[in-house]
Structure 1
Amino acid sequence: MKLFCFATLLLSLALAYYVYTPMPETISEPWKLMILDAAIRSTMHVGAFLQTLGICHQVHVVRFVQQMQPMPSGDTKVQDLTFAGVQVRVYEGTGGEEGRLRRGMVFLHGGGWALASTKERSYDHLCRKMADELKAVIVSVEYRLAPEVHFPKQYDDCLEATKHFLTPEVLALYSVDPAHVGIAGDSAGGNLAAAVAQQISVDDTISVKLRVQALIYPVLQALDFNTPSYQQNHNIPILYRSSMVHFWLEYLDADRTLIHTMLINNHTAKDQKALSKHRAKFDWTALLSPEFQKNYKAVVPRKGSPKILKKVPALLDVRAAPLLAEEVVLQKTPQAYVLTCEHDVLRDDGLMYARRLEQAGVKVTSEHYADGFHGCLSFASDPIKFSVGERAVQNYISWLNDNL
């Protein structure tokens, strides 16, 4: 009996140690987030173990767990279709005025270009809510994922599906007003949404242009992994700094061993002449307000690893890193909504892009959540609900209702 009690105590302590993660006092519902993060880490660890054994890739385990979540239901009309060879899920809201054209949105889900799906519970719930509350047609794109495909395949899928939806014939088929179509995405989806919005804006062969772009804690660059938000939140759930670098390397099909040298910005050292024309575009010392810079110092080594930019040229490709777009391109993009969270490594990516859009003359609405964390928008409904997620979803949809 004593041995059993002792073993139970040890297991309890081990579990507590595994679950507990130091959290900022201002973050939303920290204990709930700790438990959620522990569950996610457990899934990742199991996946990594199975990958080591050669059974399957780590991401396949995570995808399997994501697909196990029960799906929501409702009166929203939902169809799984193909647009220009790309799988999409189309949501049609009900209750609009008879004979009146509807609004349209293209939505691109997050997941580090490797995880999630249009059919995942949180994204399906969000798109149903958008369709119903906006009385709109939502096209959620099931773009292909890494490791099966790599950049620029994900971008190409999203661009082709969006272009297909924007054709006058398809808009007419769904009774969508060509003057009221937008694009949105979260995290990696925000990256894709920003890149697609840029291309649509400069492509003269596309007659219908986007009215709005909504970017939810977007990832927009891979040249500085030591911005203030990366330094401040490097170990804050649910997206760690090392995880973000890993996602980038997988997306760009780069050597995974580069993670350590990129974490210290060796790929963007001062001696990297290829970066000369780009440095001002991700210079957070100039683009961020003092309240976000705090006391953090820029990490720019004198000498770095010149082979990285040669081996991974996509690091400088605006289709992968929309923050690097020229001002002449940004000027043509639609008005923007940029949502950022204080406790998120990607916070400064969104803030810098919002600032660059404003400098280019684009109307920008910046919404910052002081208690927010990365991914909070996906936790706005049962069974895992955070108050900041509920607020974020409602404010995001309210903005779309006013501006789309």
Structure 2
Amino acid sequence: MGVPLLVLLLGLLIFHLGLCVWVVLKHFLMAELPSTLQHTVKMRFLHCMLLYVITLGNILDKMKICSMPKFSRFIHDRLSIKKKDPKMVVTDLHFGTIPVRLFQPKATSCSPRRGIIFYHGGGSVVGSLDSYHNFCLLLARETDSVLLAVGYRKLPYYHYPAITTDCLNAAIHFLKWLKSYGVDPSRVVICGESIGGGAAAHVTQALVGHKDLPQIWAQVLIYPLIQAINFQLPSAQQNQNIPFLTWDFLIMCICRYMAIDLSWKDAILKGAFIPPETWKKYRKWLSSDNIPKSFKKKYQEPEYPGPFNEAAYLEAKHLLDVHHAPLLADDETIAQLPETFLVSCGHDILRDDALLYKKRLEDQGVTVSWYNVEDGFHGCMVLYDKKFFSFSCSCKIFNAVVSYIKGI
């Protein structure tokens, strides 16, 4: 009995060592770390960890042991140590079937507090109420707000439009019961990061039509995913291999969530799924012409979109749905949106999504504040409280968000 066990343990050790070597080689061969990025050793280590977890998750997925998203979230949550704060009350609730977490200051207030509805990031692969717990706790405490974090449904069991549906339903429920949570109905902020930023943009647009509910005071969108149509923008070319959101990982997350087979990846990247009449209609909002010249360094304008492929369109046409692409909302809806705070990062593949939405909002007279962190990268915000693994750009974003919310 001892010999077979020893052989098994030795085999597992060799497997994991081989996987580690493969991950390190892939990182050094594929990843790009510009000189302006700080703490490159930390970044390389964290990216190798991410690649290791995703790769092991894919192996377990193919062996039908555990799905990659479920495994990745499990590991991510285990690495997140939830803090306690004696000045805050944290309550886990359910709005119907949607798990939410409420963060409330303990101190009594002579008037109702500001409310924040927060949607986390993670591309529907990673991210949860637990992994964003500390960020939400700190944000609620520093802004003296009541914060609702929404634990929307994710992969592998739920696909589009589960995220936007859950986020909207949770927001409506919260808005109906603001007074019971001690929230001032005239001071509600919707905030989201990455795919959660896209969900925040969609929810804010959807609530424009709900005249029976309190109107949103402001929206805070942190490096949001505003569209998944034009993948040939300058930031996509410049940052396609920057950890932690590479081109390949972004496309994988989008295809999995939208239930699109990865064999259509090239057609999506080249825009071959976009009908000519659709591009003609939306080009004014999606084109790289809207990106300032200062952000087009080392950018080669591609022939875009590629030759139309009807089969690709039938497979991926829901990428053109306004629920997934808030940038495509009509002018009337955009014009009614509240003031907006947009955060972008210089080394983020989604940087230009924020720039496109900024112009879209400003063209319709919406007040926009914009904060671009030149040395920032996608996902840095969630590392804000990770001590040794935190980055200066993480602190910059957190402080900017706190300052904006307290100042409106």
The two structures share one fold, judged by TM-score above 0.5: yes
Change in CA separation of 1:257 and 1:73 when aligned onto 2, cut-off 3 Å: same
Contact 2:273/2:316 (<8 A) preserved: no
Partner of 1:358: 362
Contact 2:271/2:306 (<8 A) preserved: no
SS of the residue corresponding to residue 193 of structure 1 reads helix
Unmatched 5+ stretches in structure 2 = 1-16
Partner of 1:178: 185
SS of the residue corresponding to residue 389 of structure 1 reads helix
Of residues 299, 311, 318, the one that matches 1:314 is 318
Structure 2 Cα separation of the partners of residues 88 and 277 of structure 1: 38
Q: RMSD value over aligned CA atoms?
A: 2.0
Cα deviations by residue, 1:193-235 (Å, 9 ceiling, x for unpaired): 000000001233x330100100000011111111100000111
Alpha-carbon shift at residue 15 of structure 1 (Å): 7.8
Contact 2:72/2:125 (<8 A) preserved: no
Of residues 253, 261, 269, the one that matches 1:255 is 261
Change in CA separation of 1:72 and 1:399 when aligned onto 2, cut-off 3 Å: same
Change in CA separation of 1:299 and 1:241 when aligned onto 2, cut-off 3 Å: farther
Of residues 273, 276, 299, the one that matches 2:280 is 276
Q: Mean alpha-carbon deviation: is it higher for 229-238 or for 289-298? A: 289-298
Contact 1:272/1:306 (<8 A) preserved: no
Partner of 2:75: 65
Partner of 1:323: 327
SS of the residue corresponding to residue 185 of structure 1 reads strand
Structure 2 Cα separation of the partners of residues 314 and 139 of structure 1: 29
SS of the residue corresponding to residue 381 of structure 1 reads coil
Q: Mean alpha-carbon deviation: is it higher for 371-380 or for 64-73? A: 64-73
Q: Mean alpha-carbon deviation: is it higher for 81-90 or for 174-183? A: 81-90
Matched-pair identity in %? 31
SS of the residue corresponding to residue 71 of structure 2 reads helix
Alpha-carbon shift at residue 19 of structure 1 (Å): 5.0
Residue 90 (str. 1) matches residue 124 (str. 2) = no
Alpha-carbon shift at residue 318 of structure 1 (Å): 0.8
Structure 1 Cα separation of the partners of residues 314 and 193 of structure 2: 29
SS of the residue corresponding to residue 371 of structure 2 reads strand
SS of the residue corresponding to residue 277 of structure 1 reads helix
Q: Match for 1:397: what amino acid? A: V
Alpha-carbon shift at residue 86 of structure 1 (Å): 1.7
Structure 2 Cα separation of the partners of residues 136 and 14 of structure 1: 46
Structure 1 Cα separation of the partners of residues 306 and 158 of structure 2: 35
TM-score normalised by L of structure 1 = 0.91
Of residues 145, 164, 188, the one that matches 2:195 is 188
Structure 2 Cα separation of the partners of residues 397 and 248 of structure 1: 30
Partner of 2:7: none
Structure 2 Cα separation of the partners of residues 50 and 344 of structure 1: 29
Contact 1:90/1:140 (<8 A) preserved: yes
Q: Match for 1:318: what amino acid? A: V
Of residues 146, 152, 162, the one that matches 1:137 is 146
Partner of 1:6: none
Unmatched 5+ stretches in structure 1 = 1-9
Q: Match for 1:142: what amino acid? A: G
Aligned length: 386
Structure 2 Cα separation of the partners of residues 175 and 337 of structure 1: 24
Q: Match for 1:395: what amino acid? A: A
Alpha-carbon shift at residue 114 of structure 1 (Å): 3.0
Of residues 290, 295, 301, the one that matches 1:292 is 295
Structure 1 Cα separation of the partners of residues 24 and 316 of structure 2: 41
Partner of 1:160: 169
Contact 1:241/1:345 (<8 A) preserved: yes
TM-score normalised by L of structure 2 = 0.90
Alpha-carbon shift at residue 84 of structure 1 (Å): 4.0
Residue 391 (str. 1) matches residue 400 (str. 2) = no
SS of the residue corresponding to residue 276 of structure 1 reads helix
SS of the residue corresponding to residue 32 of structure 2 reads coil
